[in-house]
Chains A and B, each alone.
Chain A
């Protein structure tokens, strides 16, 4: 997929992306029924998407993400949306990119093998600045691995899976409620920065049921993409308006649209042999995320008022955080001061937050359901301020709190 040129021939039928009215939101709430439910993480993702205004889902079923597609296929038509089962995951991202340009908030959901296939078009979404949400309910890899077992092995792939320089945003939920809440956040980030956002769930939280509470109108912020307001003749679709995020010329609104994965000028037309144009474009794609890191990065800090010499640090993310809470409680009861940094925004990576932790602890361990991924980012951010130890586990079982405690005790000196 290199070029997509669309003429505004069907403008009459077109309904541009618009903020939710209260009426529309409440229609979704009626379809979702009870405020308090006992639901799976995958289901909560679908609910979050619908509440955020998602009206298009394209996907290919895969364990452990299938329930998201199942719920979307059942509920999207009830709120006036569209759900398509595609021939594969490459096409799925292609379809949500197209839907996004047609004015719908769009999403797909998959697991590792599908996420690998999606990488080409994720790069296209980044290059064309297409808002869309990709849910990766991680399972054990490589390849088809362990379909029914959860893992955290796609963290690096989420950032580096497509070729070239680009930035995107990735979030890791640790509870079923967060699957709902963070999907809404994913849409908000995606619309704000015109970037693909990855929700890095996992097979454990995806298939676990917990109590969730659905928000009411006014409880949550719902953001929609900025659309152009300048006269049509003056519009430059990829010009920086000072925010580094151009207004999006949704198809059918009458603003000229020419969308390409090739390096393009501010007009949208390809200019593939100009170093300054390529530099300007790709630098802006990266800077629109990097410059806003403070607004994008979310972490949770649970720090003690203790001296650096006596305090150990733990960096966690996603479902592993739950086990870490338990380990932290036990360690503190035994008299070991612990500073726990929970990463919510995996990408862009919270380098400053990790560096700050490194200044407060004598060592850091990084428990994760892989053989060491975020460990490398932590080490880079720590930059020698203290030792960093990986505490990886694979095979489909979570760490026990004891394993984390033993890793901490074993990492002394």
Chain B
């Protein structure tokens, strides 16, 4: 499973990919994470890739992705053509205006108001990434919730652990509700 998180530097793109990769490693899976960002780390183009597999990972730089999590318009426009057929697109609806004409045929699209939820429910836009991470993980059943919680607890700034966990849990709940319908 190849997942790309993309957006601006400062949105927690690299952290999301790191937390997901670490969770997979904690679950005993093969996992690989890498990132690319512009020379200005805040506000520049930023992406974080995660590969999760039961087998050895040979391709460090895949050309196509099973999942794209897009957190801004340029990232959406640049990377949406790289989603594999039958892949999944997850959008922050508050930051991306989707254009179906650009999207590969056969993909599944999910859009949530991650930034709005992060601001209105938790008072911090900056944790939109955790809402998306919890949502993505439950939707696609990538890693155990125990590993995800452990990875978040160890890697978010001290004092914000509960906030981040709650934001992640909110994403998990959103996905569960959606899957019930």
Are B35 and A207 within 8 A (Cβ)? yes
Name B60's contact: one of A38, A204, A211 (CB within 8 Å).
A204
Are A323 and B58 within 8 A (Cβ)? yes
- Report which residue of B30, B32, B56, B61 has the largest number of chain A beta carbons within 10 angstroms of its beta carbon: B61
Using a CB–CB cutoff of 8 Å, the interface residues on chain A facing chain B are 36, 38, 148, 204-205, 207-211, 319, 322-323, 325-326, 329, 397-398, 400-401
Are B58 and A209 within 8 A (Cβ)? no
Which residues on A sit within 8 Å (CB–CB) of B61? 204, 397-398
Query: What is the chain A residue whose CB lies nearest that of B23?
Result: A38
Query: What is the chain A residue whose CB lies nearest that of B50?
Result: A209
Chain B residues within 8 Å of chain A by Cβ, number: 19
Are A38 and B56 within 8 A (Cβ)? no
Are A325 and B31 within 8 A (Cβ)? no
Query: What is the chain B residue whose CB lies nearest that of A319?
Result: B60
Are B21 and A148 within 8 A (Cβ)? no
Query: What is the chain A residue whose CB lies nearest that of B151?
Result: A38
The list of the 7 closest CB pairs from A to B, nearest first, reads A326-B58, A38-B22, A209-B33, A211-B25, A208-B34, A38-B25, A325-B58
Which residues on A sit within 8 Å (CB–CB) of B34? 204, 207-209
A174 to B59, CA, bound (A): 12
A209 to B19, CA, bound (A): 11
User: B179 interface residue, CB < 8 Å from A?
Assistant: no
Q: CB within 8 Å of A: which of B29-51?
A: 30-36
A177 to B139, CA, bound (A): 31
How many residue pairs link A and B with beta carbons under 8 A? The number is: 53
Which residues on A sit within 8 Å (CB–CB) of B63? 400
Query: What is the chain A residue whose CB lies nearest that of B33?
Result: A209
Are B58 and A211 within 8 A (Cβ)? no
Are A323 and B59 within 8 A (Cβ)? yes
Query: What is the chain B residue whose CB lies nearest that of A41?
Result: B34
A207 to B33, CA, bound (A): 9
Are A209 and B60 within 8 A (Cβ)? no
A329 to B55, CA, bound (A): 13
A209 to B22, CA, bound (A): 9
Are B18 and A322 within 8 A (Cβ)? no
Which residues on B sit within 8 Å (CB–CB) of A209? 18, 21-22, 32-34
Interface string of B147-158 (1 = CB under 8 A from A): 000000000000
A204 to B58, CA, bound (A): 13
A326 to B57, CA, bound (A): 9
Name A401's contact: one of B18, B56, B57, B59 (CB within 8 Å).
B59
Which residues on B sit within 8 Å (CB–CB) of A323? 58-60
- Report which residue of A205, A211, A401 has the largest number of chain B beta carbons within 10 angstroms of its beta carbon: A211
Are B59 and A36 within 8 A (Cβ)? no
Which residues on B sit within 8 Å (CB–CB) of A208? 32-34, 60
A205 to B57, CA, bound (A): 13
A205 to B21, CA, bound (A): 15
Query: What is the chain B residue whose CB lies nearest that of A324?
Result: B58
> Can you list 13 A-B pairs, Cβ within 8 angstroms, ordered by A?
A38-B21, A38-B22, A38-B26, A38-B31, A204-B61, A205-B60, A208-B60, A209-B18, A209-B22, A209-B32, A210-B57, A211-B31, A325-B58
Min C-beta distance of B32 to chain A, whole Å: 5
A207 to B61, CA, bound (A): 12
Query: What is the chain A residue whose CB lies nearest that of B32?
Result: A210
Are A322 and B59 within 8 A (Cβ)? yes
A397 to B36, CA, bound (A): 12
Min C-beta distance of B57 to chain A, whole Å: 8
Which residues on A sit within 8 Å (CB–CB) of B59? 322-323, 326, 400-401
Which residues on B sit within 8 Å (CB–CB) of A211? 25, 30-31
Are A38 and B33 within 8 A (Cβ)? yes
Which residues on A sit within 8 Å (CB–CB) of B60? 204-205, 208, 319, 322-323, 398
Which residues on A sit within 8 Å (CB–CB) of B57? 210, 322
